[in-house]
Amino acid sequence: MRVTSIINTFAMLMLLLALGGTGLAYWSAERTKFFSTRTALANRSYEAHLQLSSNIYQLFKQYGDAMLIGDRDRGAGEAELIIRIRANISTIRGVIAEEIELVGDEEFEELELLSRIERRIEDVIQKFENAIQGDVPDGFSRNWSALSSLLDHDIDRDFRVMIGEALDEELEEVEETRADTEAHIVLIERIAFLFAILSVIVTILSIASYRRSIAKPLAHLIQGVREFSHGNFANLINLKGKTEISEIGQVLDDMAIKVESRTQELRNHNAALEAAVANRTRELERLLDEAQSSEAARRQLLADVSHELRTPLTIIQGECDVTLRGDEKPAEEYQQALRRARDTAKHTNRLVDDLLFVSRQEAGMVKLEMEETNLGDLVSDTASLFDASVSIKIDVDNAILRVDPHRIRQAVFALMQNARRYGGEELSVRVDQSPAGYSIAVEDRGPGMDDAEKKRAFDRFFRGSNAADSDGSGTGLGLPIVRAIVEAHGGKATLLDREGGGLISLIKLPKGTHLSTVEGGLPVRRKTVN
């Protein structure tokens, strides 16, 4: 038998015993209350009958005195006693009503007897009144005869018998209630003794079942678990039965068998693991070589920056040296030299400005001039700087977004310029809308880039393998500038492969952007765009 079934069974038995004991106590209290109430009502009725009898005899005495010596108080004493008698009858009737409500219809006989007594009393009172008020000449003898008749016939024979009958009825009811109370006490004692025996039996059975089904198997289970904790998985627990503890022991035995098997497997795989560690060591060495190559690339990047800055500075210096060498030259030659120096300086300034913008964006301190801008118009204006081979597709009627139009135009132009330089003459630009915001895609039909190059394409001064086929005029800052501008607006720039060949340069701008830059010179909170 399962442990939960045993526990539930004994819990149910104990609950039934508890409920039975509670019910027995409640029933006993109610019966005791019933007997007590019935006894009290019988006593009240008995006392009320005695008081009624006393008041009636006093009334008869008053009538007798009035007939013998005259009615001196003109019936005041008799009237007061009659009021008391009627009050006694009303009290008895109320007690009988309570008894009927308590025990039922068996008290109707008392109510009928009370009605007979009441009628007899009223009849006797009327006869006394008639006897007292008689006006015949020999009224005294007649009245005396009437009084004797009332005393002998109506009072001694009828009234006394009915009062005695009522009192005997109340005494009998008290005795009956006392007998019922004693019988109830005996019954309660027997039932309580039976409950005690049942409680002892259930307790003994509970303890025996607990020791047999729970305590002993649990002790055996704990001993087996201790053996397992010491690594001795060969000695299984082997609990019998179908209880939950037996199932736990079986599960632990199965686990011990599996652990022993896995331990052997681990020993067998140890050599393979050592070989894997050796392979991973070689992989780490390869990664270290790649890190060293990355360091060399960083140094090369610094060299490229130095070269990019040194070349225009050398040009400016050379132009100045040539212009200043020799005799004084015409003003036109000076102007041409100054123009060449200015153009070179502009190129250098753009290079420095791009590097500064990227650095500020990475530091979160870019300043943007934000305004409501129609992205469709901005893309169309930017594409107009190229020839007619650029295809424009705008799928949004009114793509209004709060951006820095100068910077977004710079980013779109850089993407078009990059696509034209490395992807060929045919370009297409598309503006789309998504639930999160808007996107601008520039597609070309060039050779594209592999996955490794796409991952590094937004690094500063990185140039892909297809850059060797171009004119070599790029600085390697176009895509980094694009990413810096887009991320400054809370967006994201990515490169995707175009179906059928080529590359898609995609920028996504969210609606309600919380900029990661400085708008109007004030820091703005960052928002991550997926």
Got the DSSP string for 210-246? HIIIIIHHHHHHHHHHHHHHTT--SS-----SSSHHH
Question: What residues pair up with 390 in beta bridges, in sequence order?
Answer: 427
437 with 429: CB under 8 angstroms? no
Give CA separation, 355 vs 70, 152, 453, 476, 479, in Å: 144, 143, 21, 11, 12
Distance from the Cα of residue 357 to its chain's centroid: 50
Backbone phi and psi for residue 23, each to the nearest 5 degrees, phi listed first: -65, -40
CATH number for the segment(s) 364-523: 3.30.565.10
Backbone phi and psi for residue 515, each to the nearest 5 degrees, phi listed first: -70, 150
Dihedral over Cα of 223, 227, 228, 229: its sign: positive
**Cβ contacts of 498 within 8 Å, gap of 6 or more:** 443, 444, 445, 448, 504
144 with 175: CB under 8 angstroms? no
| CA pair distance 215, 93, nearest whole angstrom | 69
Distance from the Cα of residue 208 to its chain's centroid: 43
CATH number for the segment(s) 29-179: 1.20.1440
pLDDT of residue 508: 92
| CA pair distance 118, 458, nearest whole angstrom | 121
pLDDT of residue 507: 92
Given CATH 2.60.120.10, say whether it is the number of domain 257-363: no
Closest to 77 (Cα-Cα) out of 64, 96, 87? 64
Unique residue bearing structure tokens 């009825």: 169
- Reduce the DSSP state of residue 298 to 3 states and report it: helix
Rounded mean pLDDT for each run of 10 residues along the chain, 530 residues in total: 72 82 84 84 84 82 72 75 86 83 75 80 76 50 54 62 78 81 85 86 83 78 78 74 75 79 80 86 86 65 62 73 73 77 73 70 75 90 78 85 89 87 84 88 86 77 58 63 87 88 89 53 38
pLDDT of residue 530: 32
| CA pair distance 185, 181, nearest whole angstrom | 6
Which H or E element spans position 496? strand 492-497
- Reduce the DSSP state of residue 400 to 3 states and report it: strand
**Cβ contacts of 75 within 8 Å, gap of 6 or more:** 66
Pull the structure tokens for residue 494: 């990515």
Domain edges within the chain:
29-179, 257-363, 364-523
**What is the pTM for the complete model shown?**
0.39
399 with 371: CB under 8 angstroms? no
